[in-house]
Amino acid sequence: MSVAKPLTHDAARLHVTGAARYVDDIPTPTGTLNLAFGTSSVAHGEVTGCDLAEVRAAPGVVAVLTADDLPFANDVSPSIHDEPLLAKSVVHYVGQPIFCVVADTHLAARKAARLAKIDYAEHPALLTIDEALAADSRFEDGPRIYEKGDAEAALAAAPRLVEGSIEIGGQEHFYLEGQAALALPQEGGDMLVHSSTQHPTEIQHKVAEALGVPMHAVRVETRRMGGGFGGKESQGNALAVACAVAARATGRPCKMRYDRDDDMEITGKRHDFRIAYRAGVDEDGRIIGIVFEHFCRCGWSQDLSLPVADRAMLHADNAYHLPSAKIISHRLRTNTQSATAFRGFGGPQGMLGIERVMDHIAHDLGCDPLQVRRLNFYRAPEERPGGIAPPGPPAGYLETGKIEKGADLASRGVTEAVAQTPAPVVPSGAQTTPYHMPVEDFILHDMVATLEESADYAARRERVRAWNAENPILKKGIALTPVKFGISFTLTHLNQAGALVHVYQDGSIHMNHGGTEMGQGLFQKVAQVAAASFGVDLDAVKITATDTGKVPNTSATAASSGSDLNGMAVKAACDTIRNRMAAHLADLHQTEPRKVHFEGGKVFVGDEEYTFAEATAQAYAGRVSLSATGFYKTPKVQWDRIAGRGRPFFYFAYGAAVTEVVIDRLTGENRILRTDILHDCGASLNPALDIGQIEGGYVQGAGWLTTEELVWNAKGRLTTHAPSTYKIPACSDRPRIFNVTLWDGANREETIYRSKAVGEPPFMLGISALMALSDAVAACGDGSVYPALDAPATAERVLWAVRRQEAGA
Amino acid sequence: MYAFELERPKTLDAAKAALAGDEAQALGGGQTLIPTLKARLASPAKLVSLAAVEGMSGVKAEGDQLVIGGATTHAIVAAEAALTYPGLADLASHIGDPAVRNRGTIGGSLANNDPSACYPAAVLASGATIVTDRRQIAADAFFDGMFTTVLDEGEIITEVRFPVPQAGAYAKFVQPASRFALTGVFVARFSEGVRVAVTGASEEGVFRWTEAETALSGNFAPEAVDGLSVSPDGMIGDLHGTPAYRANLVKVMTKRAVAAAS
Amino acid sequence: MSNVTMKVNGKPVSGDVEGRTLLVDFLRGPLGLTGTHVGCDTSQCGACVVHVNGEAVKACAMFALEAEGAEVRTIEGMAEADGSLGTIQAAFQEHHGLQCGFCTPGMVMSAAALLKDNPKPSEAEIREYLEGNICRCTGYHNIVKAILAASGQDVPAIAAE
């Protein structure tokens, strides 16, 4: 069978020969125009004068569009219509598009965009968390609060109190392929859009609104992206809409790609957070009650910030049972890029908060943080992991939830009015999360024990101690951190997917689904599912570009859900066709359909055997439909995001990592020496692709917390807007020793071949790098001062933390 | 990028003639200049590539000096100076990345005098002489603050003459994103004394740390600078590091360079 | 406009370019060789690495006119004459040295330049050589493996295989 095999990426051959096409590589018709935005140079202000005469007169310029030139919706927001494509009068951040140049060439458009003379009446700009708090500048009315038990009472009664705060920086996606779109006008006012997007349906929706046409008049195609990481869930809207509007206005194809600087200055990034904590613990380090306060810098527009901040709250527990907890979340509006989806979607920030608490408790107690972590783990379920979960009640969400009129239905940014969701039934013995969901599949006890042994944790901790005793300059640190990540869109209705499968008369198979390919190998995994359904070789299955004309109403390829959702939908479509073929062949041979088997490229009917192509031809001649759609919706999920109560996740994905680092106490330089990872992909659909996700996710996560520092100047301009100033991990930054192993166990929930989602969870394994640095810094002192390392822990930040240790000692 | 002509003269005379006009600018390997032009911070009417000028590339020993042609790439210096001046070759072999080293040139780097570039530290610490199409300039007189040198308009660096020290080494704290020096220190020990040049740290560009020179001339060992302190005043403070951090690095990198040289 | 002539992947080509036309734009535009990618425009990311007279250079940091008379090789010229994959290309495929693929052409070109000078590089040498090639997807582990394999050296088995 084609599933569970470590097959290479489906497009690997195209990539290594340079033949794989990205949007900017698609051959365009003669006369194609290129676009560039003219952007705001102030962080907040009113445009008092906008002289575009020189822009219009510049060589190669065909048209210049402003907000006044947009015939229909001037909106590229994925949530509450607060994000115009082109600013109307008020600008809200440095880099906000104000006008759009349409010119013969990319260079001509960019050059002309710089010739504008714009006058502003500047308003005070809110750039930081503190400034936004002081001005009470926020989304939603006040802070969102999730509560379980009486945390304040528990704190008051606790023998020990651990409190502190951590600053967590944002992160630039730095997908290697910048944002890009190409719009080609079709007959009758229709529009074809090629977009580098994780969410073709959202592009289709926004383009249709901007052109004043029904969605059926817009077709969006996405073959692949050169990386996405969440940065292409909503941030591609502006380019696609601009291209479509310009194409409509000029009657010519229009293309737009952001240069790297523009991309970094215009588009949103990971939310930066401050997390303040007060934990009441017992003498062993067990948490009795905890209060978290999340301060989330959302930027100027709402975008996807509410569900991001929600997911941070939903991961405030990570792997730990919090008997009582209160999580307060402030969603702050600032005059900076509108922060957006980024791998983990708030989960990493929330999780880092509790991991920081674990580290802090252990430091206070003077014990190994692993001991404290383990002590606080959720209880293991009584049944064995991998056991089959009972079916849940049918999801009643859509029946109870009401969608606002005019809402952006397919976007995670939509907010729903939610009917009261009953508290989930808690099986006896199960512990619950702070949002009252029972944790029934907790496998970290076994996983951590296994990793501890394979990584030789205890002996290495001793060696680190011995090393630090002997070496005055270079100090080592080690940490093991776990991950428990919730899988499902927290906007429940997005947990659906469609597929379209055709079997042609020669036995070749055309497969299409709503997921997009950004490098993660989704297309290959889903093709493996299709090949397995028909019992054919993978090369019988044609992988095709995501296309809103083939599968409608798709959700973003996001929330790690790609193969869970689309794999099931494709399987449903394939099974439909296979069952029709089986019924027909059974009829021909006067046997039962269940006695028809599809295997090894053959179809066995009783004693007869056909090649798959012969069987297909038989079915075609017998007038059997060889085309089918497939549909899937995730069962069991149902929750109330306002109250913070219910089951937002179908299941959890788990992992754990041990990282060892060394720092130079004279400079703060630091290196990852060794990383060992044990990660849970359920019964992996493709171990090679999954391991690739884990390795890449870890390095990206460690980069977020160590070298990747975003800096804005006092005027709100992002000064790290190129790879020459913003440090992405390079080849020499990867761990010297890097061992990645998959946990051997099936998903207890009924997912596609019992696999688990893998896109986001491994990112948070990178937290172990920050905790190892904290350990190394602590080794420079006498134990009296907690390192309280903020993120990213750049060399300079590590040095000053070391100096605090030295001063405290 | 603004429109401009690009010329590729084959001889020094032709290059001089090409650079004589207004707003003409010499182009070395372009590894700094081209990104700068793309960011539209510079807009010459004409670029004169020196890559094809005969006799301007290569490394040769002349007496006790190492002579490097102005258009010699970092990769060539890294390979060909390795035996005669290993400290210099090592510096060249850590500039940028391999593709940058295949294009970038010593003349281009010196003429640009980026405050974080590596070569100025070697030139200043070695007491090298910059030879142009019209004169010879001592290193101590060549650098004139960030991005500024005493070169005249159109003046071409034809070669750089390095006295080879008894011991010399460079220690660089890499600004991790650009791979330029956040702070880099070149230490060169000659029979008449030690010279120490610091790049990346000061708002004045590359400079000699004379207190360290005195201390190291007495005792060429890392601990010789232990008693010295570096003031953060006048150090660069930017998104990559504070003045205090750079001041700290000056001392640490000096010690590392001395350790590597001895 | 000036005329420029060079050999690209063994074939003589010429075209009219401006002084400011970058080599990468000449390759991707008039020549249609879109396998050479532009990832950063600031000569940092290495997605545009090609060979000019046998040496790796960043095609976004070189003018087309500077390649006058040069032999240029791009990713499209890396396969064998019969169309089968070259050793390095095959190793990147087999060892999963790619995900989104955008950095892959530059990685393959850099790897080829490395192996030309250093046929059996150590892991550390590979890491250092790839300093100017950014990959955002893979974490580099499989890229290093692929290059080790392409140089005929032992590669630690992938854990799950």
Residues of chain A with Cβ-Cβ distance to B240 below 8 Å are: 725
Alpha helices in A366-480 (DSSP H): 369-376, 397-400, 444-454, 457-470
The pLDDT tens digits for A48-104 are 999 999 999 999 999 999 999 999 999 999 999 999 999 999 999 999 999 999 999
A669 touches chain B (CB under 8 A): yes
Residue spans in chain C of domains classed CATH 1.10.150.120: 87-150
8 Å CB contact of A111 and B2: yes
* Cross-chain CB nearest to C19 (options B4, B30, B177): B4
- Mean pLDDT computed over B215-240: 97
Scan residues 169-208 of B and list those with Cβ closer than 8 Å to A: 173, 176-178
The pLDDT tens digits for A619-631 are 999 999 999 999 9
For residue B149, give the CATH number of its domain: 3.30.465.10
Q: Are A177 and C102 in contact (CB under 8 A)?
A: yes
Judge if B179 and B122 occupy the same domain.
no
Domain of residue B34 covers: 5-49
| pLDDT reported for residue A423 | 67
Minimal C-alpha gap between A17 and chain C (Å): 6
Residue spans in chain C of domains classed CATH 3.10.20.30: 2-77
Among chain B residues, CA nearest to A110: B1
Total tally of structural domains belonging to chain B: 3
* Cross-chain CB nearest to B98 (options C41, C56, C60): C56
8 Å CB contact of C18 and B3: yes
Structure tokens at B27: 């182009």
Phi, psi of A529 (to 5 degrees): -65, -45
Residues of chain C with Cβ-Cβ distance to B96 below 8 Å are: 132
Q: Is A760 a catalytic residue?
A: yes
Judge if B178 and B235 occupy the same domain.
yes
Alpha helices in C5-122 (DSSP H): 23-28, 87-94, 104-117
- Mean pLDDT computed over A585-604: 96
8 Å CB contact of B51 and C113: no
Residues of chain C with Cβ-Cβ distance to B18 below 8 Å are: none
Instruction: For chain C, give the longest Cα–Cα distance.
Output: 56
The pLDDT tens digits for A650-659 are 999 999 999 9
Among C66, C103, C108, C128, the strongest candidate for a mutation testing the B interface, having the largest count of B CBs within 10 A, is: C66
A720 touches chain B (CB under 8 A): yes
* Cross-chain CB nearest to C43 (options B6, B31, B46): B31
| pLDDT reported for residue C158 | 39
Residue that is written with structure tokens 């073959």 in the block: A223
Class of residue A131 by CB neighbours under 10 A (exposed 0-12, middle 13-18, buried 19+) = middle
Cβ neighbours for B27, distance < 8 A, ≥ 6 positions apart = B6, B33, B47, B48, B49, B50, B51, B108
Flag whether pLDDT at B149 surpasses 80.
yes
B3 touches chain A (CB under 8 A): no
The pTM of this model reads: 0.97
d(CA A546, CA A192): 13
d(CA B152, CA B175): 31
Flag whether pLDDT at B2 surpasses 90.
no
A629 touches chain B (CB under 8 A): no
Among chain A residues, CA nearest to B255: A666
- Mean pLDDT computed over C117-145: 96
8 Å CB contact of B177 and A727: yes
Residues of chain B with Cβ-Cβ distance to C113 below 8 Å are: 98
Judge if B95 and B159 occupy the same domain.
yes
Minimal C-alpha gap between B79 and chain C (Å): 12
Phi, psi of A217 (to 5 degrees): -90, 0
Flag whether pLDDT at A385 surpasses 60.
no
Phi, psi of C73 (to 5 degrees): -125, 135
How far, in whole angstroms, is CA A301 from its chain's centroid?
Answer: 19
A148 touches chain B (CB under 8 A): no
Among chain B residues, CA nearest to A111: B1
Q: Which of A368, A377, A372 is nearest to A446 (CA)?
A: A377
- Beta-bridged to residue B125, according to DSSP, are none
Confidence of residue C160 (pLDDT cuts 50, 70, 90): very low
* Cross-chain CB nearest to A667 (options B2, B173, B177): B173
| pLDDT reported for residue A398 | 42
Confidence of residue A155 (pLDDT cuts 50, 70, 90): very high
| pLDDT reported for residue A321 | 98
End position of a domain, from candidates B163, B191, B208: B163
8 Å CB contact of A726 and B177: yes
Q: From edge to edge, which strands make up the β-sheet containing A737-742?
A: A474-487, A651-664, A670-679, A737-742
Q: Are B105 and B74 in contact (CB under 8 A)?
A: yes
Residues of chain A with Cβ-Cβ distance to C35 below 8 Å are: 17-19
The pLDDT tens digits for A519-562 are 999 999 999 999 999 999 999 999 999 999 999 999 999 999 99
A8 touches chain B (CB under 8 A): no
How far, in whole angstroms, is CA A1 from its chain's centroid?
Answer: 30
**Four-way CATH pick for C87-150: 2.40.480.10, 3.40.1390.20, 1.10.10.10, 1.10.150.120:** 1.10.150.120
ipTM over 0.95: yes
CA atoms within 13 A on the CB side of A424: 31
Among chain A residues, CA nearest to B251: A666
8 Å CB contact of C110 and B98: yes
The pLDDT tens digits for C92-119 are 999 999 999 999 999 999 999 999 999 9
Indicate if the alpha-carbon torsion angle B205, B207, B211, B212 is positive or negative. positive
8 Å CB contact of C108 and A16: yes
End position of a domain, from candidates B96, B130, B163: B163
Judge if B42 and B104 occupy the same domain.
no
The angle at the Cα of B29, spanning C26 to B110, to the nearest 5 degrees, equals 155
| pLDDT reported for residue A486 | 98
Judge if B218 and B251 occupy the same domain.
yes
Judge if B26 and B109 occupy the same domain.
no
d(CA B215, CA B233): 21
Flag whether pLDDT at B253 surpasses 80.
yes
Judge if B224 and B153 occupy the same domain.
no
| pLDDT reported for residue B21 | 81
Judge if B64 and B150 occupy the same domain.
yes
| pLDDT reported for residue A395 | 46
Note if the bond before B44 is cis, omega within 30 degrees: no
Minimal C-alpha gap between A173 and chain C (Å): 9
C97 touches chain B (CB under 8 A): no
* Cross-chain CB nearest to B35 (options C19, C43, C113): C43
- Mean pLDDT computed over C12-23: 95
Q: Is residue B54 in a domain?
A: no
Residues of chain A with Cβ-Cβ distance to B40 below 8 Å are: 111, 114
The pLDDT tens digits for A249-292 are 999 999 999 999 999 999 999 999 999 999 999 999 999 999 99
Q: Is residue B34 in a domain?
A: yes
Neighbours of A387 (CB within 10 A): 14
Chain B and chain C share a number of CB contacts under 8 A equal to 81
* Cross-chain CB nearest to C158 (options A691, A696, A698): A691
- The one catalytic residue among A177, A233, A760, A796: A760
State the DSSP code for A232. T
8 Å CB contact of A261 and C42: yes
Residues of chain B with Cβ-Cβ distance to C57 below 8 Å are: 99, 102-103
Mean pLDDT of chain A: 95
Q: Are A626 and A620 in contact (CB under 8 A)?
A: yes
Neighbours of A379 (CB within 10 A): 12
Alpha helices in C23-103 (DSSP H): 23-28, 87-94
Which stretch of DSSP H or E encloses residue A587? helix A562-588
Judge if B41 and B63 occupy the same domain.
no
Among chain C residues, CA nearest to B180: C44
Q: Are A435 and A648 in contact (CB under 8 A)?
A: yes
Flag whether pLDDT at B75 surpasses 60.
yes
Residues of chain A with Cβ-Cβ distance to B173 below 8 Å are: 667, 669
Flag whether pLDDT at A722 surpasses 90.
yes
- Beta-bridged to residue A438, according to DSSP, are A432
Minimal C-alpha gap between A724 and chain B (Å): 4
Q: Which CATH architecture has domain C2-77?
A: Roll (3.10)
Q: Which of B73, B78, B143, B84 is nearest to B110 (CA)?
A: B143
8 Å CB contact of B30 and C63: yes
Residues of chain B with Cβ-Cβ distance to A669 below 8 Å are: 173
Q: Is residue B88 in a domain?
A: yes
Chains contacting chain C through 3 or more C-beta pairs under 8 A: A, B
Scan residues 31-60 of B and list those with Cβ closer than 8 Å to A: 35, 39-40
Alpha helices in A72-146 (DSSP H): 106-113, 129-134
- Mean pLDDT computed over B179-196: 97
Q: Are A639 and A649 in contact (CB under 8 A)?
A: no
8 Å CB contact of A734 and C131: no
CA atoms within 13 A on the CB side of C20: 18
Indicate if the alpha-carbon torsion angle A247, A252, A253, A258 is positive or negative. negative
> Reduced to 3 states, what is the DSSP secondary structure of residue A575?
helix
Q: Is residue B78 in a domain?
A: yes
Flag whether pLDDT at A422 surpasses 80.
no
For residue B212, give the CATH number of its domain: 3.30.390.50
